Amino acid sequence: MTTIGPAIAPTSRGSRPAVRGLRGTRSLAWYLPAAIVFVGGIVLWEVVVGALNLQAFVLPKPTAILAALQANWAEGRFALLPSATATLQEALTGLVIGTTVGLLVAFASVRWVTARGILLPLAVAANAVPIIAFAPLLNNWFGLVNPLSKALMAAILVFFPVMANVVRGLVDVEPAAVELMRSYAASDWTILRKLRVPNALPYFFTAMKVATTLSLIGAIVAEYFGGASTVLGRMIVQSASALKFDITWAAILLGAATGIVFYLVVAVVERFVIPWHATLRAEA
């Protein structure tokens, strides 16, 4: 399980981040309870909303939400697909910027111990600060309608978990492994390449899984403080204030689906890049 939120997984020295993501090796039976809950939940929702004749704008039926999704897919005042695409673009840009800067800083801080002494407490402090409070500032700096102001919000949210986790992954290597490398008279560069970087990969992927969600949250929160109107964040606010809650729900589900797909992409890449680790987890 990943910790979603500006979090660093609590790992003890030398142990791996205890991530148990999606397991490709699981049998279908493993997913059965979750699938039953999914189907059952939707049916129950549909039936109960219909039976109690709830006000449609509080909780529309799933079928109504689907209909709204279809009706507002590509065009109209609440065009959902272009909005989702725009938001995803902001989030992706932010993810790339935040991850790149996070990695650069992490590697720099491994090279220079003093930098680490400054950066890690800073990351902890940043964890304690509600960073989204900066969203209006970024809007003021880069312009309300500039997607960059949203992307940078996402980037800032992404930066800290990536930096902190990668630093930890690069530093928390088994001391005996470093001694082994020293006994080969390996250079710092070789130790970095052959020991620290592979060791940091699982930490990096843990951070990336958190970061995907954070980047979307950052983009949508920044949108909330104003900007272009064909973005998911504005769609949600505007449709809700127009009392078109079926559209609001459709937009929310689209946002959630985007987040889940985003997460799954990272999980799949992880399986390819560190299969040894994924297998380890499946066994554990």
Partner 1 sequence: MTDPSPRAAQQTGPVVRVSGVDKTFRRGDRAVTKALEAIDLDIARGEFVSLIGPSGCGKSTLLRIVGDLTSPSTGTVTVNGKTAEQARRDRDYGMVFQAPVLFDWRTVEDNVKLPLEILGWDAARRASRAREMLDLVELGEFVKHHPFQLSGGMQQRVAIARALAFEPSILLMDEPFGALDEMTRERMNGEVLRIWERTGTTILFVTHSIPEAVFLSSRVVVMSARPGRITTIVDIDLPRPRTDETRESRRYFELVTAVREALRAGGAELDDRGTVGPGSDASIERTIAEGAVG
Partner 2 sequence: MATATATRGGLTATSPAAVGRRGRGLLVGLAVALVMVLVWEGVKFLGGTPWRAPLAQPGSPILWNPPFRWAFANDLNLPHVWNILLTFGEPFQRGADRSVAQFLFDAAVYTWREAAIGFVIGALIGLVLATLFVHSRLLERALVPYVVASQTVPIIALAPLIVFAFGANVMSVVVIATYLTFFPVTIAMIRGLRSFDPRALELMRSYAATRTTIYRRLRLPASLPYLFTALKIAATASVVGAIIGEGPGGIANGLGRVIITYNQYYITGPEKLWAAIIASGLLGIAFYGLVVAIERLALRGRRPAEA
Residues engaged in binding partner 2 (CB under 8 A): 1-8, 10-13, 18, 30-34, 36-38, 57-58, 117-118, 121-122, 124-125, 127-130, 132-134, 136-137, 139-141, 213, 216-217, 220-221, 224-225, 232-233, 236-237, 240-241, 245, 248-249, 251-252, 255-256, 259-260, 263
Q: What is d(CA 114, CA 228) in angstroms, rounded to the nearest whole number?
A: 42
Total residues in contact with partner 1, by rule CB under 8 A: 23
Residue 65, binding choice from partner 2, partner 1, none, Cβ under 5 to 8 Å by partner class = none
Q: Which is nearer to partner 1, 153 or 200 (CB)?
A: 200
Residue 279, binding choice from partner 2, partner 1, none, Cβ under 5 to 8 Å by partner class = partner 1
CA atoms 153, 100, 271, 283: torsion sign: negative
Q: What is d(CA 57, CA 69) in angstroms, rounded to the nearest whole number?
A: 15
Q: Rounded to the nearest whole angstrom, what is the least distance from the CB of residue 174 to partner 1 in the complex?
A: 6
Closest among 26, 31, 10 to 206, alpha carbons compared? 10
Binding track, positions 134-173, relative to partner 1; x by CB under 8 A: ----------------------------------------
Query: Torsion angle of alpha carbons 15, 18, 24, 30, nearest 10°?
Result: 130
Give me the helices (H) in the chain, please.
28-52, 62-71, 80-111, 113-128, 135-142, 147-171, 175-183, 188-191, 197-224, 232-241, 245-273, 275-283
| Residues making contact with partner 1 (CB under 8 A) | 174-177, 179-186, 190, 194-195, 198, 201, 274, 276-277, 279-280, 283
